[in-house]
Chains A and B, each alone.
Chain A
């Protein structure tokens, strides 16, 4: 495959246009640009690597098969893709009646102390109710603005803000023991 020249500078909409004219390079660039956040969102929400992989793929295939469903005037591509992945996940959970299956397949940490801390943070996040967890995943882990997260979650910005605040409150309580001795979390 020929590498895409200046691909990172191209707008998503232009890349999508090129992809739909048959450019494999443009399609690959789009995938590489957005697959990470989509995959990580799904992984954090399910704890199931296989499902996260499958639904990531499905979200991109929907973009390929039905490009007109993405309306650039309504928002950016990344929140749209995560929103698609979220809908697919909700359908999957409905179908499978299966919510959590936490695997411990976490990425390698920097050192033992950081590893323990990181693991506890991730466990605390995964223990949050799904509506609060996704606000944390999108706004804290993926660094989305409230407005972007609202697009993904299909709810008002104020709802995202209040869910995130509530989630942080729950995390403060859950993580207090982590910080025992450091005297900051309580």
Chain B
């Protein structure tokens, strides 16, 4: 073993707390390496004196445990709320399903296409608004639109499309399904 090899590894041997056989032989025959070995040993002893067993104060433990308990409460609150919501939904669904058949069927209106009126036709880029009106069949006929002849007084619902100039542009008739 050379002095260089000895010096390179002496620190690791000190840490391991043992000197291998060939290093021991070298140390016995080399004053410099023997002194280096002693120095490293002495340094390790000095460093050992700097070791401490100090720990964080109790208030840190108290605080970390309090944080744990707060985390635990939060963690359980979410599933509890979710569980409560799920339970309520489970209760409500059968009630809703039971009620549904007894409710009157939603009115499903039948509509004609929009029929253009005499004024200028509505172009796609024009804006307009829709007004729902109720009128007699006789009035429908007077407008030149198709209507039954046997029930002049019968009321008919209609959507009238009114252009920006206020003129009616088109109309569609609505019949509520019975």
Question: Which residues of A line the B interface, CB within 8 A?
Answer: 1, 19, 22, 24, 27-28, 31-32, 35-36, 38-40, 43, 52-53, 56-57, 60-61, 64-65, 107, 114, 117-118, 121-122, 125, 136, 139-141, 161, 164-165, 168, 171-172, 175, 178-179, 182, 184-186
- Contact between chains at B72 and A125 (CB < 8 Å): no
Chain B contributes a number of interface residues (CB within 8 A of A) equal to 35
- Contact between chains at B55 and A39 (CB < 8 Å): yes
Which of the residues A31, A35, A38, A125 comes within 8 Å of B50, measured between beta carbons? A125
- Contact between chains at B61 and A35 (CB < 8 Å): yes
B172 within 8 A of A: no
Known: A39-B56, A179-B42. A118 touches B50 (CB 8 A): yes
Known: A141-B50, A184-B39, A185-B39. A56 touches B56 (CB 8 A): yes
The answer for the CA separation of A29 and B41 in the assembled complex, in Å, is 36
Which applies to chain A's interface (DSSP): helix, strand, loop or mixed?
helix
- Contact between chains at A53 and B57 (CB < 8 Å): yes
In addition to A114-B49, A184-B38, 4 A-B residue pairs with Cβ atoms within 8 Å of each other are A19-B68, A39-B55, A57-B67, A64-B68
Inter-chain contacts of A114 with B (CB < 8 A): 49
Known: A40-B54, A172-B39, A185-B43. A117 touches B49 (CB 8 A): yes
- Contact between chains at A186 and B39 (CB < 8 Å): yes
The listed residue with most B CB atoms (<10 A of its CB), out of A24, A60, A117, A179, is: A60
- Contact between chains at A171 and B43 (CB < 8 Å): yes
Q: Which B residues, 37 to 89, have Cβ-Cβ distances below 8 Å to chain A?
A: 38-44, 46-57, 60-61, 63-65, 67-69, 71-72, 75-76
When A and B form their complex, which 6 residue pairs have the shortest distance between CB atoms, in order from nearest?
A184-B42, A121-B50, A39-B56, A36-B55, A140-B47, A27-B68
